[in-house]
Amino acid sequence: MNILVTGANGQLGHKMQQVSKNGHDNYIFTDICEGYQNLDITNLGDIRETVRLYDVKCIINCAAWTNVDAAETAGDIVEILNATAPENLAKVMKDVGGSLIHISSDYVFGDNPYNTPCREEQKGTPTGIYGLTKLHGEQRIQATGVKHLIVRTAWLYSEFGNNFVKTMLNLTATKPQLKVVFDQCGTPTYAGDLADVIFYIIENRKLDGNEGIYHFSNEGVCSWFDFAKKIAEIAGHIDCDIQPCHSNEFPSQVIRPAYSVLDKTKIKETFGIKIPYWTDSLKKCMAELV
């Protein structure tokens, strides 16, 4: 089967490149930057031509606008990338009888004071443009009737690109003291673990009959403060004094979810997978970085 991956230069896209080498399918990696098959997912005609050219039967959409703060002032491009583009991909896959695997976000939640892990059927209550456009993307995919798997994830990091782990590694190595918020809780997710699950579902042909929305993050719960402390501990950056602080000490245009822990029961039971604990995956990623 020919599988097209969008956003191949991102964190998840890079990990999909690595895991795909172990499979039997043919993966085509696309992005708008040099080094990849060029594909503009905002252009319906471009998608149709690429799908026809490579006889694509499945698309994994890793592309998105992900800058949460900048989304508030960026204008229409955020909706175009996070909602219209996924709809374009869905329409083309629907036309050829293919499937779409789309990556969404815990930011579709946030406005209500949750204190239990969020389930797939829970109503979306985004607090900013990023979360709202990701929710719109989910809704527009579903409206096409395409065979789809929407995977919401959270706090993604990897060896590639810019992320919290790499930022904290640098700061804890160079700063005598840091303040990190403790009043936002969630679960860090290693992009390698998410890529493994997507690859497993495709490789074992488990998508048909299991379409819908799923949650995936690593196991466990922590605050950003706890996350930063663990990164420094693993790295041996013991000279940096990391202190907890409130979110309002770092003013932002977006109210971030205070509790966006995702319930993974559905994905574990449906596909028979075991999910690693977040500290174990963090150690694995940091070993690769070193």
Residues designated as active site: 130
Residues 6+ apart with CB under 8 A from 262: 106, 117, 118, 152, 153, 154, 186, 187, 215, 216, 217
Phi and psi torsions of 288, nearest 5°: -70, -40
CA distance 233 to 160: 21
Would you give the distance in Å from CA 273 to the centre of its chain?
A: 18
> Residue 13: is it exposed, middle or buried by C-beta count within 10 angstroms (0-12/13-18/19+)?
buried
In the numeric block, which tokens belong to residue 239?
Answer: 């000279």
Phi and psi torsions of 190, nearest 5°: -80, 125
